[in-house]
Structure 1
Amino acid sequence: MTDEMKKNGPDTAAEAAAETDASKEQDAAGAAEAETRAPDPIEQLQAENLDLRDRMLRLAAEMENLRRRTERDVKDARSYSVAGFARDMLAVSDNLRRALDAVPAEVLESADAGLKALVEGVDMTERSMLSALERHGVKKIECEGEKFDPNFHQAMFEVPNPNVPNNTVIQVVQAGYTIGERVLRPAMVGVAKGGPKPETVTVEPGTEAVNEKDA
């Protein structure tokens, strides 16, 4: 015990010893906390591996989406690159058909060989043109007698006809065509108005379905 401690008495010496112990405990606690905060190299590597794996999966998904989009764009380019040209050729086909329809059947029957050959040549030209377009994916929309569909048809007028269901295509003014899965040109049609309504079926609890027409 130092002279200073002897002079100050036993209480002061005890306090000094307590402070020394407290300081040692704080140093030990600080060291333990430092060890706790220090990252584990293995855990750090595992976290980095997970992060890299996540990035790799995201990159692979993006590349797959890009590949699919590229394939779709290439397919569309092949299928629809001739759309503008095909539409112009359809206008030529329409004019050929108008020329054929302008010749009455009775006139054609009594016509000379030259006129008949001319009409046959125009008809063959039209059919050959449509056949060539079909080889490139252009197909005619068959719609007469079908229910009106605004996705494929363009209604030009209505015709009162009680003998066919309402909104049935009964006349084609101008043929429509598709190219691939798209509409190249909608069909211009006339539709029936005022025909019979579609038959409905009524069902009551505990009974079988009954057709209203037969009820």
Structure 2
Amino acid sequence: MSEETPKEHKKDKAHKLHEQLDKLQAEKDEIFARLQRLSADYLNFQKRSSKQIAESIAYEKESIIKSLLPVLDNFDHTLANTENLQDSTELLKGVKIIYDQFLAILKNHGIEQISTVGQKFDPNFHQALTQKSEPDKENMIILEEFQKGYKLGDKILRPAVVIVNKKASEDQPQVSDAGSENGD
């Protein structure tokens, strides 16, 4: 057997290192190419997602508007026939039908009215317009609804504007509606 000279040993080692370097370079190039493909795929995914979201929003808008068109048609028919009405009861019936139809459409789209009168005031769902004092009612109970509130699932679209009962505390004097105490 022939022994390798130190020069040949260095050459052989350099050759092996060069092969390893070539192999690592090839792996790096492959990984870089995969990264570029993944990056391009991700950008395409983002574009597709944005387009799909925009299309979905447009579809939902169209769907909502289409569901409202029959309500508009019924208003047109009701208004066109008001000239022939002798009393307002028929008009009120027509308006009530349209109102119920509109509420049904809102419900089909997941929108619900917020309960108010007789309920305990909740600032998450209600906005107090003013307070009244009705001693026979519980404190902070909603007495009247000024404007309806609506929610979509758990999200409040608009709080209900309400009038809330505020019991007068016993240390405060009761104010009379009959006039002032000094006889003015």
Q: So what's the TM-score if we normalise by structure 1?
A: 0.44
Q: Report which of the two structures shows the higher radius of gyration computed on alpha carbons.
A: 1
